[in-house]
Amino acid sequence: MTAIKCIGILTSGGDAPGMNAAIRAVTRSAIYNGIAVKGIMRGYKGLVFDEIVDFRSQSVSNIIQLGGTILKTARCKEFTTPEGRKKAYENMQAAGIDALVVIGGDGSLTGAGVFASEYDVPIVGLPGTIDNDLGGTDSTIGYDTALNTIVDAVDKLRDTASSHERLFFVEVMGHTAGYLALNSALASGCEAAIIPEMETEVDQLAELINNGFRKSKNSAIVIVAENPQTGGATGLAERVKKEFPQYDARVTILGHIQRGGSPTAFDRILASRMGEGAIEALMEGQRNVMIGIEHGKIVYVPFSKAVKHHKEINRSKLELVKILSI
């Protein structure tokens, strides 16, 4: 493999707190090692429509504390077509880009894998998603910040919940993964977490009601992962009205508030380590891998493994939520 002289960096999919810290780390680590950097605006759309700009060390000054992404992000239907990817590759070549660093979730890394296989482009991915649903890494960039945002919101909600005899359903993101729901429920002292991983095993709402969650309490807060199959918090509240009319149910949907805010120290450090790890990986000749972290150490995870959603939840935490909610 020829030496990499210039890399392109893009953020794709849903934004996550810490993406800017990762952009900063990738940019400065590359420059430190004598590699030029190009910023690609609006994800894969910027590759297809040639929105590519020179990045210098100053380009990433004063961004480590910012949420969102200075590179912006957008959906790109064109990149899903062979014609669009061909155009992206031609623009990449014209800009002198030898390799890519892609920051995003499973869709972004899946697209990177297809692009790399078609054009033999060295690509390294960084796991940027609040859902924490990528395999091969203990945590994804943005997850810790989103978790703290949820806990802060639930703490505020509890102040009003304690004034009323109500069952509050709080919907959080994660329609295929319950990490945010489960861990925020545990951290905020909620009565239960209703998560996708358990939907085929047990009727979680019926179990919650039948266990008599209000024996010693005048209110209860349940964290619910968004889920098209159950209808999320709204769907569960509708079920309560029909099947358990004795309970007064209320719904709070946190929505995109979970994506925003200044990243926590944990996410800034994680993004910084992973960003530097991406450049190290490219210099070692790695390709089609995501940078993960396991037991505190940087690891290289093949894209195929990262996007499989085989990451299991810690079921003992579900039992712990139940035990501590009596």
Residue 160 scores a pLDDT above 60: yes
CA–CA gap between residue 111 and residue 85 (Å, rounded): 10
pLDDT at residue 309 greater than cutoff 80: no
Question: With contact defined as beta carbons under 8 Å apart, do 23 and 7 qualify?
Answer: no
Q: What is the pLDDT of residues 314-326, one digit of tens each?
A: 888 888 988 887 7
Decide if 47 contacts 157 (C-beta within 8 A). no
Q: Which two tokens stand for residue 52?
A: 């590519």
Neighbours of 19 (CB within 10 A): 30
Give pLDDT, residue 1: 47
Q: Give catalytic residue positions.
A: 131
Q: Do the first three CATH levels of 6-142+263-306 and 144-259 match, i.e. the same topology?
A: yes
d(CA 56, CA 61): 9
Judged by average pLDDT, the poorest of 97-111, 146-160, 207-221, 295-309 is 207-221
Query: Please, are residues 71 and 24 in contact by the beta-carbon 8 Å criterion?
Result: no
The least confident of 36-45, 108-117, 300-309 is 300-309
Return d(Cα 193, Cα 188) in angstroms, integer: 11
Lowest model confidence (mean pLDDT) among 84-98, 211-225, 264-278: 211-225
State in words which class domain 6-142+263-306 has: alpha beta
Q: Which of 17-21, 161-165, 291-295 has the lowest mean pLDDT?
A: 161-165
| pLDDT at position 241 | 85
Per the CB < 8 A criterion, the answer to whether 174 and 226 are in contact is yes
The C-alpha atoms of residue 95 and residue 89 are separated, in whole angstroms, by: 10
How much is the pTM?
0.93
d(CA 66, CA 134): 23
Yes or no: say if 305 and 135 are a contact pair by the CB < 8 Å rule. Answer: yes
Query: Higher confidence at residue 197 or residue 29?
Result: 29
Kindly report, residue by residue over 27-67, the tens digit of the pLDDT.
999 999 999 999 999 999 999 999 999 999 999 999 999 99
- Domain coordinates of the chain in residue numbers? 6-142+263-306, 144-259
pLDDT at 326: 76
**What fold characterizes domain 144-259?**
Rossmann fold (3.40.50)
According to DSSP, the β-strands at 289-294 and 123-127 are parallel
Q: How far apart are CA 151 and CA 119, in angstroms?
A: 44
pLDDT at 92: 97
What pLDDT, on the 0 to 100 scale, is given for residue 278? 98
Burial class (CB in 10 A: 0-12, 13-18, 19+), 119: middle
**Comparing 1-15, 104-118, 249-263, which segment has the lowest mean pLDDT?**
1-15
Q: How many CB atoms lie within 10 A of CB 323?
A: 9
pLDDT at 174: 86
Q: For residues 306 and 72, give the distance between their C-alpha atoms in angstroms, rounded to a whole number.
A: 23
Beta bridge partners of 289: 124, 302
Other C-beta atoms within 10 Å of 120: how many?
10
* pLDDT score of 56: 97
Backbone φ/ψ region at 228: left (φ over 0), alpha (ψ -120 to 50), beta? alpha
Question: Could you report the per-residue pLDDT of 198-235, keeping only the tens digit for each?
Answer: 765 567 777 777 665 555 566 788 999 998 877 889 99
Kindly report the average pLDDT of the chain as a whole number. Answer: 91
- What residue has token string 């990149």? 79
**The amino acid at 237:** A
Give the containing element (helix H, strand E) for 20.
Answer: helix 19-32
Average pLDDT score over residue span 172-188: 92
Least confident stretch, 1-5, 49-53, 185-189: 1-5
Query: What is the distance between the alpha carbons of residues 108 and 244, in angstroms, rounded to a whole number?
Result: 42
